[in-house]
Amino acid sequence: MPHAERRYNGAMNASTATVARLAPSPTGAQHIGNARTFLLVWLAARRANARLILRIEDIDSPRVKPEAVAQIEEDLRWLGLDWDVGPIYQTQRLPLYEQALSQLRAAERVYPCTCSRSDIANAASAPHADHEGPVYPRTCAHRRAADAESLGRPFAWRFRVDHSPAFVDGFRGPTYVDLSQVGGDFVVWKNSATPAYQLAVVVDDAAMGVTEVIRGDDLVASTPRQLLLYEAFGWSAPRFTHVPLVVGTDGRRLAKRHGDTRLAALRHAGVSAPALLGLLAWSCGWLDTITPITLPELLPLFRWQTLPPSAFMLRPEYLKAIGYEP
Ligand code: GLU
Ligand code: ZN
């Protein structure tokens, strides 16, 4: 019974075993793109005899949808994916994040920032090219952590970026993102009094003894930030592996405008899990044609070498091949 160990007791990082995680954000329903990443994480983990954790990243409060939280386990089970620990909910771990923040404050690694989004957009010198937003112009960097007490208005905590750690990605190889060009000093605690993704994910991965972080390559630029946090806390970092995303025919990340690719929709339309697994396996170069395959059959076929380095473009005819017309 893979789901027997329901509660995480904090005692898992004692061994040097391989530990991986599935870390869905319930900000919307899980779709074919999420399924492909889940599948890669699961196959890599099972092939490495890793312990696999399911962690629900539900701290992004205004964007989290309760119905999406409820669906995640059903979606994963439908695909046949299991896990050894969890689900663990980030919203139940706030004291850990608060403790980590106070550590950063005490070390003056963070400062209180009162800038609004438009303050930053107006002060930024260069137009920003991606979803990372403009480079933070360090308007508030002169502040000390203790200044927070006398501000009398909402503020976020920003981390002082002093370098950009390079890393060797498990799939992409040597990777470098210059943080002084991408985002700059980043938020670790939002002015809504909740931890930001960067802080929560590092605190959790460290506390849970995660050794393998496998996730979508939209998060490549997050990795140097997270490495800075590992350095600041004095924790050893996991290995990072970023996998290509699924995009629509317009080349953009899979979204509603590309039709209904939610796993629940496929399920309700009568698509079988092996049919979808066949499509995903084919997209990863493990099958020559789109034919149904079960998870146990797929396990020995998994390898990184055939995975195309660019995004997988989901075309309507591929969905047709598995009997689905959105
Ligand atoms: N929760 C994030 C997402 O669904 C993934 C975070 C991570 O893997 O570090 O995009
Ligand atoms: Zn500021």
- Collapsing DSSP states into helix, strand and coil, what is residue 103? helix
With 50 as the cut, is the pLDDT of residue 5 above it? Answer: no
State residue 124's pLDDT score.
Answer: 66
Instruction: Delineate the domains of the chain, giving CATH numbers in brackets.
Output: 19-92+244-321 (3.40.50.620), 94-203 (3.90.800.10)
What is the mean predicted confidence (pLDDT) over 88-105?
A: 97
With 90 as the cut, is the pLDDT of residue 31 above it? Answer: yes
Ligand at shortest distance from the CA of 198: 1
Amino acid at 57: E
With 80 as the cut, is the pLDDT of residue 131 above it? Answer: no
With 50 as the cut, is the pLDDT of residue 243 above it? Answer: yes
Confidence of residue 62 (pLDDT cuts 50, 70, 90): confident
Q: State how far the Cα of 165 lies from the Cα of 171, in Å rounded to an integer.
A: 17
Cβ atoms of 86 and 55 closer than 8 Å: yes
Entry pTM: 0.92
Which of ligand 1's atoms lies nearest the C-alpha of 21? 8
Q: State how far the Cα of 312 lies from the Cα of 33, in Å rounded to an integer.
A: 9
Question: Measured in angstroms, how far is the CA atom of residue 16 from the centroid of ligand 1?
Answer: 23
Helical ranges in 80-196 per DSSP H = 94-106, 117-123
Helical ranges in the chain per DSSP H = 32-47, 66-79, 94-106, 117-123, 197-207, 222-233, 263-268, 273-283, 295-298, 316-321
Q: Is 320 a catalytic residue?
A: no
Cβ atoms of 13 and 46 closer than 8 Å: no
Which of ligand 1's atoms lies nearest the C-alpha of 213? 8
Ligand at shortest distance from the CA of 214: 1
Residues touching ligand 1 (Cβ under 6 Å) are: 23-25, 57, 201, 215-216, 219
Tell me what the pLDDT averaged over the chain comes to: 92
